[in-house]
Structure 1
C-alpha cells in the first residue's frame, strides 16, 4: 500500500492531495492536502504533475498526516541532498552549438546575454529535460553558468520565436554543409503536446491526444525529419486539428522557407486522404503513403489477396500495380499512382 498523487478542481485550479486507494472504483481515503499545482510548480521548478507521482509513492503511509506532508516536500525539494558535483559534459554540447553557428541568423539584439542564455537552455535540456524555470534555479549544476535575471528568460524566448525560420534555415544549411544528408526524402508525422491548465487561450484547444490526456488542452505539432530522424522543419497547429489537415500548409511552408522543389513525402495512413494526394499530384510532389486496408476498393482488396505476381525478395513478398488517379465521380486527372503491397512471412502472428 502506498500513496497516490491525485488532483481535483478547486477554485478553478488544480489542488493536489496524497491519498490511498480504497480499491478499484471505490475512490480514495486518508487524503493529505498539498496545495495548488501552480504554486508548487513555481516553487520547485516542475514542468508536469507526472514528475511528482513517484515521489508520492516513497512517503511512508504509517506517518502522521502532518509528518507525511513534510516528508513529501522534503523529497521534492531539489536541494534536499546537497552536492558539489557539476556536469562538465554540457561543454561538449556547447561545442556542437558553436560549430553549427546556430544563432548567427539572429538580428543584433539589445539583449546582451541572448546567445549565452539560449545555448545554456538547449545544452542543459539535452542532458536533463526540465522546465526553463527549473533549469534556471539549478544552473549551478553545470559548469557553464549564466548571469541573467529570471524575468529576462521569456523575453529571450520571444526573440528566438520571432526569428524561428531564420534559425531553422541556418541550421538546415549547416547540416548540409557538414553531412551528406538526403534532402529529397522527408518523413512527415504529427504529435501532440498537452498543457495542465484551466485557461484555454490561442491555439491551445481540446482534441485527440496521442498522450492519452484527453481532458487536457493541447497543440498539434507537425514535423518533417530526414532518413536519420534528424528534424528539418516543424509547424504548430491548434490542438483540435486532425492529422489529415496539417500537411498542405506544412509542405507549402517547407518549400517556401527552404527553397526546395524536388522532394518525396513519406507518411503514415493518417495523412492518406484524397485531398492530400490531389494536392501533392498537382504540385508535382512525389509521395509514399501507407493505406488502411478497410478503406480499399473491392478490386484492390482482390489484388492483394490473390497469390499471383508476388515476388520474394529481402525476406518479403511484394507486388505492385499502376492505377489511374481519380477524383470525384471517377474523373481521371491525368496522373498515375503505383500501389505497392508488401508481406513479411516472418512477422505473421
Structure 2
C-alpha cells in the first residue's frame, strides 16, 4: 500500500524546470520538429523497408544513404505532400539524419526504380505477416499525372488527362485489397486507354503476389467485354 501511495504521489508531483531571460530564439531560427511521425516510423520499420534498402545497397558504390532518403520522402509525402526539393528543404522537420544533398535525393530515385518491384513483393509479404491481407475483393482504378512540358517521349504522351490539361501525362493503375491497403501499381504511357491497363496488371499481380481467387471491383470504364472475359 505504501508503495502504491508513493507511486501516486510521484505521478501527481509538479515538474519544475528553469529557464533564463538570456535563453532566447534568434530571428529566423527554426527549431520546430514533428514528433507525430513516430507512428509512421513504426509502420515503416514493421514493414522492414529499412532492412530491404540497407541490404540492397550494401554492395553498391553509391555514397548516399538510400534508407535515410526514403524515410524522408515517405514521411513528407504523407504529412506534407510537395516536390522532392520542397521535401528536401524541410528535412530538418524530422528527428532523422539530414547529411545528404538534393543531388543525392535525385540520384537515389534511380536506385528506388531499380528495386521497385522486389520492394513491393517484400512489403506485401510483411503486410500478410503483420496485418493480414484480405484479397477476397480487389479494387482497381486508373489516374494520371501531368508534366509541365510540351515534349513527348515513348512514355510521356498526351492523353485524356483527369485534370483536363493539354500537357503530356503518365497513366497509373493501382490495386487495393478489401482493407484499402495498396497491393501494387503499374505505370503506362499517357495515351494508353484506361481499360487496357487492367489485364496486364491483373495477370502480373495474380502470379507475383499469390492472390488466389479474387473478385475485382472497378467502374464502368474498366469493365469492358474483354476484361470481363
TM bucket normalised to smaller: 0.7 to 0.9
- Cα offset, 1:140, TM superposition: 2.0
Contact 2:40/2:75 (8 A) holds in 1? yes
Contact 2:138/2:216 (8 A) holds in 1? yes
5 Å-filtered alignment, 1:4-83, equals 83=30
Q: Which has the higher helix share?
A: 2
TM-score with structure 1 length normalisation? 0.53
Structure 1, unmatched stretches of 5+, are 1-79, 279-349
Q: Does 1:139 align with 2:86?
A: no
Q: Which has the higher strand share?
A: 1
Q: Does 1:125 align with 2:77?
A: yes
Structure showing greater Rg? 1
1:168 to 104, 120, 126: 120
Q: Deviation digits for residues 218-275 of structure 1, max 9, x if unmatched?
A: 1111011012222111000111111111111111111232133322211111111111
Contact 1:185/1:227 (8 A) holds in 2? yes
Q: From the superposition, tell whether residues 114 and 250 of structure 1 become closer, same or farther in structure 2 (CA, over 3 Å).
A: same
Q: Where does residue 199 of structure 2 map in the other structure?
A: 248
Contact 1:221/1:237 (8 A) holds in 2? yes
Q: Where does residue 192 of structure 1 map in the other structure?
A: 144
5 Å-filtered alignment, 1:256-275, equals 256-275=207-226
Structure 2, unmatched stretches of 5+, are 1-26
TM-score with structure 2 length normalisation? 0.79
Q: Distance in 2 between matches of 1:86 and 1:152?
A: 23
Give the root-mean-square deviation of aligned CA atoms: 1.9
Q: Where does residue 225 of structure 1 map in the other structure?
A: 176
Contact 1:86/1:141 (8 A) holds in 2? yes
2:106 to 148, 154, 157: 154
Q: From the superposition, tell whether residues 228 and 271 of structure 1 become closer, same or farther in structure 2 (CA, over 3 Å).
A: same
Q: Where does residue 206 of structure 1 map in the other structure?
A: 158
5 Å-filtered alignment, 1:328-339, equals none
Q: Where does residue 100 of structure 1 map in the other structure?
A: 47
SS at 2:180's partner residue? Answer: coil
Q: Where does residue 73 of structure 1 map in the other structure?
A: none
- Cα offset, 1:92, TM superposition: 2.7
Instruction: Select the structure with the greater relative contact order (CA < 8 A; seq sep ≥ 6).
Output: 2
- Cα offset, 1:147, TM superposition: 0.8
Number of paired residues?
Answer: 198
Contact 2:137/2:177 (8 A) holds in 1? yes
SS at 2:141's partner residue? Answer: strand
1:85 to 27, 32, 35: 32
